[in-house]
Each structure stands twice: as structure tokens, then as C-alpha cells.
């Protein structure tokens, strides 16, 4: 979460953590968190071994505890993919659901012929909890 969320705020950490847990819960992907995060070409290289800055450890630990306790980013939903925010891809199966921590999160799904597809990620603010 730390390296993929650009060392951002709790929202960015939670969004990346949500994707990791979504991948873990998907039957076709690896069976453990370390296996999900360690998949070649999926997350930043070395994320399992790189040291974090001391000042960020508590923030990351709090976010990890929240994710492991079942908290999920409300806008990420069941998305299992993300890329750096601000980049544009014209694949019709990319349905953007959130932007957080410097990343655009998306679901891969069949294009809806009725709903026009956005040409770029839409910035969706995280609404405060009720």
C-alpha cells in the first residue's frame, strides 16, 4: 500500500489495500497477500523488501489494520486494477471508479453500449463517512 499509493494519505493507502484484498478474494488469483503483492509485473518491484520511512510506519500500520479488519475504500468497490492517475488509455473495458493516492482505479468489464465511456479517469472525491 505504501509504495503504490505514492506514500499518500489514509485514503490512498486504503484504496490500494482494497485492490489487494479484492485480488486475494478472487478465485483466479494467488491465495495469500504476499503472493498477490509479489506477483511479477503487478505491483512496484521490491515492495515486499524495501524499507519504509520511519515517520510513515504508524500511518501504514493503521491502514493495514483497517484493511485486514474488513474496511474497504467505498469508491474502489470490487476493482482489481489501477494505474497512475492522469494517464489515458483507450481500452473500452476500463471502467474507472475512483482516484486516490495518485492512482486511478478501474474495473475491467464489457463496455456498456448505452453508456458513453469517459476518455480519461474521472476524479471522484471520497465522501466522508456518515
pLDDT in tens, 35-53: 888 888 888 888 888 888 9
pLDDT at 79: 96
Q: Report in angstroms the alpha-carbon separations of 56 from 6, 33, 83.
A: 12, 21, 22
Separation of alpha carbons 73 and 78, rounded Å: 10
pLDDT at 54: 92
Q: What is the mean pLDDT of residues 113-119?
A: 54
pTM exceeds 0.75, yes or no: yes
Q: What is the mean pLDDT of residues 46-70?
A: 91
DSSP sequence for 84-97:
ETT-----TTEEEE
pLDDT confidence tier of residue 114, bands split at 50, 70 and 90: low
Residue whose cell numbers read 518491484: 45
- More confident site: 31 or 18: 18
Separation of alpha carbons 77 and 80, rounded Å: 9
Amino acid at each position: 500500500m505504501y509504495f503504490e499509493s505514492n506514500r499518500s494519505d489514509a485514503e490512498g493507502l486504503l484504496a490500494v489495500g482494497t485492490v489487494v484484498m479484492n485480488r486475494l478474494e478472487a478465485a483466479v488469483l494467488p491465495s495469500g497477500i504476499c503472493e498477490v503483492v509479489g506477483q511479477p509485473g503487478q505491483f512496484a518491484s521490491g515492495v515486499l523488501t524495501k524499507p519504509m520511512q520511519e515517520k510513515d510506519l504508524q500511518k501504514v500500520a493503521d491502514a493495514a489494520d483497517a484493511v485486514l479488519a474488513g474496511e474497504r475504500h467505498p469508491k474502489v468497490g470490487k476493482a482489481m486494477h489501477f494505474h497512475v492517475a492522469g494517464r489515458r488509455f483507450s481500452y473500452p473495458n476500463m471502467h474507472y471508479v475512483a482516484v486516490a493516492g495518485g492512482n486511478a482505479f478501474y474495473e475491467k468489464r464489457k463496455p456498456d453500449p448505452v453508456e458513453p465511456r469517459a476518455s480519461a479517469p474521472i476524479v471522484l472525491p471520497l465522501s466522508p463517512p456518515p
